[in-house]
Amino acid sequence: MLSGISAVRSSSGRRAWLVLCGMATLQFFIAVDVTVVNVALPSIGARFGVGGHALAWVVVGYTITGGGLLMLGGRLGDVFGRRRVLLIGTALFGGASLLAGLAPSFPLLVAARLLQGAGEAIALPAAMAVIVLMFPEGPRRSRALSVWAAVASCGLVLGFVVSGIITELLGWRWIFLVSVPFILVVLVAVVVLVPGERSAGRAPLDVPGAFLLTVAPLLFAFGVVEAGSGEGASWLPAVALGGAVGAGVLFAVVERRARRPLVPARFFRNRARVLANLATALLSAALSTSFLLFTYYLQDRLGAGPLQAGLTMLPLAVCLIGASVLVPRLLGRWGARVCVLAGLGFTVLAMVVIAAVARLGAAGVAMVPAMMLVAAGMGFGIVGLQYVAVTGVTEDDAGIASGVQRAADQLGGSAGVTLYVGVGFAPALGGGDPFLVSSLLAVAGLAVAGVVAWRISVPAAVTPE
């Protein structure tokens, strides 16, 4: 007998699609906030008198904090109810956006970005779980997840364009403030459209595990950046990287002993889900790297302005919309594994084109084929992996599955930018073409992802038709 959110999918298809519109709006602005600060960073630095080294944490702090707390966010939804947690996380994200736009000092801006990441971590797993539970397995769910993935991808890309336009016309503070009224609309939609659920009751939460999962990538990013800069104390990078490894090991120990770990042991018994999340992290690492390489090439190599660079990336967003329409049909026809392998192949070709264009010093338009290939890689790869990652979920573990998948996506992207771009463009490791080095590292990661994806097997009973 169905109850709560899952009952809605049996009673009102229109209501489910309205909920999807609301969740997609939330997803869009959360995704935009990942990239919207990039173009505005010089203006922020000029306003508060801080340099590039400090400004980097406005970006990294948001993405890593959000990714590190996502699994705790998924667990909160399973324990306290998705609707309640969705409202709390969305309100926190909106309030933090308002605080970031009004921040009178740089430390308060960074704190607001950390709170935005926490709001994302609480809201997004609940939002994705709501979508999964309201759309049954098969064509309807594959279409809903395609919309969800396309909106996230377009948000990431359009963040560059939106940042350039808003910063030039209204000032950098409005890149945060513009989302506040839309977040209020989402809150109203959740109250009206998403049914309530019974709380699972009091249950222990793995806060130490969430803390360690956030600290480990932050220390890793700090260590890689410090090592590449060649400045500061020589022992600091080694200590930071050692701390990252120690936090990772301690996380594994804590998870084995916790009464209610972030990721229950039963999650790892589903081989397809584990492999899908590993492949997601590796694919996202390459995709996030490609975004930054596009920006660096257009602005640093060719001298394009922020707005011009953002507009040059519009073909990527247009192709993503096309992929979101095409992929659901092919997902049912080809199967998830073939779509994932195709996505990985497209992304490999994109990295090759990026390296070749940079090596030749060609005009910015020469990057358009790489952008189209990246769009295809996202459309086929991420949608296929998302489908596998939430296959067979129930109301008991939908939040965990969604949180793990999103964490793999976001932490994988952050790690890719930190490692691939950090090593490629490190002053201390100069001498080679940074675009070639970064692209080769991304291709190596994609090769591993291909081996992993090849071993993914989805039962025929749950393959979308």
Distance in angstroms (rounded) separating the CA atoms of residues 273 and 330:
21
pLDDT (average), residues 94-120: 91
pLDDT tier at 318, thresholds 50, 70, 90 = confident
* Residues in Cβ contact with 242 at an 8 Å cutoff, skipping those fewer than 6 apart: none
In this predicted model, which residue has the larger pLDDT, 290 or 67?
Answer: 290
In angstroms and rounded to an integer, the radius of gyration of the C-alpha atoms of the chain is 21
pLDDT (average), residues 1-11: 48
- Tell me the CA distances in angstroms from 121 to 42, 128, 319, one per residue in order: 27, 11, 28
pLDDT reading at 459 higher than 80: no
pLDDT reading at 4 higher than 60: no
Q: Each residue of 442-457: pLDDT tens digit? A: 999 999 999 988 887 7
pLDDT tier at 10, thresholds 50, 70, 90 = very low
Distance in angstroms (rounded) separating the CA atoms of residues 410 and 416:
10
**According to the model, what pLDDT value does residue 5 have?**
54
Distance in angstroms (rounded) separating the CA atoms of residues 401 and 74:
8
pLDDT reading at 52 higher than 70: no
* Residues in Cβ contact with 364 at an 8 Å cutoff, skipping those fewer than 6 apart: 297, 298, 302, 304, 309, 312
pLDDT tier at 321, thresholds 50, 70, 90 = confident
pLDDT tier at 112, thresholds 50, 70, 90 = very high
Task: Please state, rounded to an integer, the average pLDDT across all residues of the chain.
Answer: 80
pLDDT (average), residues 409-413: 83
pLDDT (average), residues 17-40: 82
**According to the model, what pLDDT value does residue 461 have?**
41
**According to the model, what pLDDT value does residue 40 have?**
77
pLDDT reading at 31 higher than 70: yes
Token pair for 409 = 């996506």
Percentage with pLDDT > 70 across the chain:
86
SS3 451: helix
Burial class, 178, CB count within 10 angstroms (exposed 0-12 / middle 13-18 / buried 19+): middle
pLDDT (average), residues 333-337: 77
**According to the model, what pLDDT value does residue 1 have?**
35
pLDDT (average), residues 116-128: 86
**According to the model, what pLDDT value does residue 203 have?**
62
Look at 115-119, 127-131, 278-282, 430-434 and tell me which has the smallest mean pLDDT.
430-434
pLDDT reading at 28 higher than 70: yes
Percentage with pLDDT > 90 across the chain:
14
Residue in this structure with the two tokens 């409202």, named with its chain if needed: 87
- Tell me the CA distances in angstroms from 323 to 51, 106, 329, 343, 409, one per residue in order: 39, 39, 10, 11, 19
Distance in angstroms (rounded) separating the CA atoms of residues 117 and 320:
25
pLDDT (average), residues 51-57: 63
pLDDT reading at 199 higher than 70: no
pLDDT (average), residues 380-409: 75
pLDDT reading at 105 higher than 70: yes
pLDDT reading at 99 higher than 90: yes
**According to the model, what pLDDT value does residue 197 have?**
66
pLDDT tier at 273, thresholds 50, 70, 90 = confident
pLDDT tier at 95, thresholds 50, 70, 90 = very high
pTM for this prediction: 0.77
Look at 36-40, 124-128, 289-293 and tell me which has the smallest mean pLDDT.
36-40
